[in-house]
Amino acid sequence: MGCFVIGCFSPVYSSGLCSKHYNRKRTTGTTNDGPRARTSLEVRFWKNVERKSEKECWPWIGQSLNRGYGYIGIGGRNSGKELSHRISWVFKNGKIPNGKVVRHKCHNRLCCNPNHLQLGTQADNVADMWVRKNGPKGNARLTKKQIAKIRKDTRSSREVAPIYGVSDAHIRSIRQWRCWK
């Protein structure tokens, strides 16, 4: 015999309900799904992208990694996370072929504009990094003038980071004088 909730066929845990519905009833008073329960990945993704014109970067305003890339949970507890620019590529162009990476033509790690993305190999990506002098011998992305502007800017780190193509954590480090002393 299954759970009493319509459409749920999980085994009964207690009081005629499966463990998921039993715990939901115990904690919220109802077996109904919460407001975020069935929100699709695409809806959640685009809520975290600041769309602008087709030629401009569309900065990711959701969570970002310390390397400056945005990411989003795929859905569910054990399904993992994915980089935001890769999700943007998949929504517009479909599956990413094996052995390929999604590269930013605009060199802005937080950009999710599908028109600014292209497929390539990891070797292409590394070669591009060296051409732009972002490799180990010259990884400074910001100038001293930009650092001064960042420290004076009163907007949040999350708002400022996409402007300079760095993570919000990096903006906080600059403002707290942990880097660029």
The CA angle 42-47-35, to the nearest 5 degrees, is 80
> Model's pTM, two decimal places?
0.57
Last residue of a domain, one of 103, 122, 138: 138
Span 59-114, pLDDT tens digits: 999 988 878 899 998 876 677 889 999 999 999 999 999 999 999 988 888 999 99
Last residue of a domain, one of 138, 156, 172: 138
* pLDDT value of residue 31: 83
Span 137-165, pLDDT tens digits: 444 578 888 899 999 999 998 888 888 88
Collapsed DSSP state (helix, strand, coil) of residue 164: helix
* pLDDT value of residue 164: 83
Indicate the residue type of 5. V
Mean pLDDT of the chain: 85
Alpha carbon 41 to its chain's center: 11
Contact 159, 150 (CB under 8 A): no
**Residue 23 pLDDT greater than 80, yes or no:** yes
Shared-domain flag, residues 78 and 109: yes
In this structure, what DSSP letter does residue 111 have?
B
Contact 67, 61 (CB under 8 A): no
Domain tally, the chain? 3
Contact 56, 84 (CB under 8 A): no
Shared-domain flag, residues 97 and 156: no
8: domain range? 1-38
